[in-house]
Structure 1
Amino acid sequence: MLHALAGGVRQVHARGDIQREGASPQFLTLVLEGWACTYRDLENGQRQILSVLLPGDLVEPFGILPAFADHSIGAVTQVTLAQIPPHAIRATARVSPRIEQALWWDLLVAIAIEREHTVSLGRRTASERLGHLFCELHLRQQIVGLCDHSRCDLLLTQSELADLLGLSAVHVNRSLQDMRSRGLVSLRNRQLIIHDLTELRDFSFFDPNYLHADTARSSSSPEIQWSAQ
């Protein structure tokens, strides 16, 4: 059923636009492969990245589309995505309670991630923000089987990390050096290597409960996992 929904597949090159702010979206966008992000451009030329989209993420809630987009969607890497008519995914949810549950869970987690992002911008130090983001990206990839215990992809540049965390690129670099000196993480070939996950979570005040990972694992099965294969 899910494969049937994801029939309208297209690719977008790295750093290309998937959707521009102000457009009238006709489809729900589902990321199948690669990394994408939502963002807002400011009149002064600066950009705020609002969210990072990983394989399996829906950009909008599954039930309805806005009349116009209040943010842009951009490809961080080359992205393979599916364009799904809202009526089709609603019909699928009506006939499959497990798919409906998974879609509601997806919306719940998306809102929880936004709340944590707000907390980071308002109350965490630069190093804590970066560490918290690393913990989140690691766990989100682990949930969908895209990393092992100690390492995961980190496909954002330092400039993109700065745009996401409300920092300058220089501040991001200093925070990375701080965490390296503490023996918490290192970066190699666009991969994040976590040397002590427990210590990194404690340092960043990361509580994984907001991602509801246990719910995802207990309710997941091959037929409800999105895949580009």
Structure 2
Amino acid sequence: MAASRMVVVALCALTLAACTPSVNGELLVSAASSLTDAFADVETAFEAANPEVDVVMNFGSSSSLREQIIEGAPVDVFASANTSNMDQVVEAGEVDGGEIFVTNLLQIAVPVGNPAGIVGLEDFANEELLIGFCAEAVPCGDFGRQALENAGVTPAIDTNEPDVRALLTKIEAGELDAGITYVTDVLSSDGAVEGVEIPGEFNVVAEYPIAALVNAPNPDAAGAFVEFVLSDEGQSILASYGFSSP
């Protein structure tokens, strides 16, 4: 899996080098935690095609990144794991509007070997199990609760984590029996956790918007980065991590 991703990145860099206009300087990108691994490869390919640009990634929950932007943090590009946080940044006048660049689905994540024998969402009502969620204000927490509501399950939650990466870390360590993350998180764990499917009738499609900020410190590089993410090359990298095109 890792080798195939590197091939995708290398091909993208070679292709873009011939067609991307020259940009330079530092580029500040605030992106949802669930994009951490995929955007690391996006950064590599973009910098290879634009060697005078230094991309600085800031990963966190979409809600915390939203607040940072509204409070005046210098940011060139915002990539959110849901539309509501982007909408609030639009309402604050920080961006003109976001464009959906990928979608994602939820999946139950369990420790290797699934020691608690988790089979589905119904297990989240079992008070004898250690169940983790993302905080309700975080997209993965909001979507996870929607999925349980769709299934008619009232969860017995033991912990609410600040973002999906923090939740995944506890599941990997065996501190939790299960949690609801994204399909892409289970895939990018490279076997550190296992996934249990959530039926389509209960699952929730997460739409990820991206936008350059109105007052981006480096508007040219910001526009080029957004264009790259939306391009066939950028979409190929994201698809290799399990994201779907909108």
The TM-score with structure 1 as length reference comes to 0.24
Q: Which of structures 1 and 2 has the larger relative contact order (alpha carbons within 8 angstroms, sep 6+)?
A: 2
The TM-score with structure 2 as length reference comes to 0.23
